[in-house]
Structure 1
Amino acid sequence: MKYVVKAEFVDRHTGTRYFPAARGEEPVTFEPADDDQFKALVAARCIGDEPIGLSLFDKDVADLTRAELEMLALESAKAEIGRVSDEDLRAAIERYRDHLSASEEDDIEKLSVEKLKAVAAEEGVDLDGATKKADIIAAIKLKREAA
């Protein structure tokens, strides 16, 4: 089985020096000669502990398992991050935070009036006598927007 090279090392069996891939390049892989070599290189953080299935690149995407899809998505994201400016990364993080915030707003719509009142109290929202669900949600949203 092959593993991704994470740090520079020399193969004790062949004397070959291995280097990790530069950002945006295909991962460099290494196949340990035996279990002892595998354990030593993983312990030294020279190789990853998850085998890389190079055949994944040959498979039709529709045939990949969830685990394979996640692994390839992470590798793809890592490669893409290396090509993106700091400014673009910051913008992407802000968009993600906005997405999470929007998800939280959607979630309050599902809460009961009792739970909404608890959220309002926790966030210091003055309900000013609001008892209807829509009024409580509006007050919470108004307070969040002001923050």
Structure 2
Amino acid sequence: MPVWTRSKYVSIYDDPALEFLESTQIQMALCDGISRKSDVAPSEVELDVPGVFWYGVRSLGESVGVVGLRPNAPFRGAATLVAVAIIRQYRGNALGTHSVLAVARKMKRDGVKLYGSVPRTNGRGLYFWLRCGYAPITLKEGASGETLFRKI
């Protein structure tokens, strides 16, 4: 699997077959990203989102999560992380934060401004972006059910 970007603790990899998205644990982690009290079953998680590129997250040789990146959003020359999902057993080790930092460094090298997005129903997700050093912003044409974040 080709590594797309990496940090000291995580490797973000590109798997054109998207096999990592077939993992029930990854699907559960994505459900948690909608809301911890979500009634969405893992099999109902919509992964075929137009314009979103999915990347696997590995740490110490294990598949630990996934990130979803939408290029040219909210505007041309920017990109938005629409999903950062870490499998439950690997949480608490800052792997989500390290994933954001690795993607942010790659985007900066590529001259792209990185934003984060989280459903307003996910309080932990909102807090996650604040802990990563991002602040909520308002755009005139922002999606109604999401909060958009940018680096402070």
Higher helix share: 1
**TM-score computed with the length of structure 1 as normaliser:** 0.22
Higher strand share: 2
**TM-score computed with the length of structure 2 as normaliser:** 0.21
- Greater relative CO (CA pairs within 8 A, separation 6+): 2
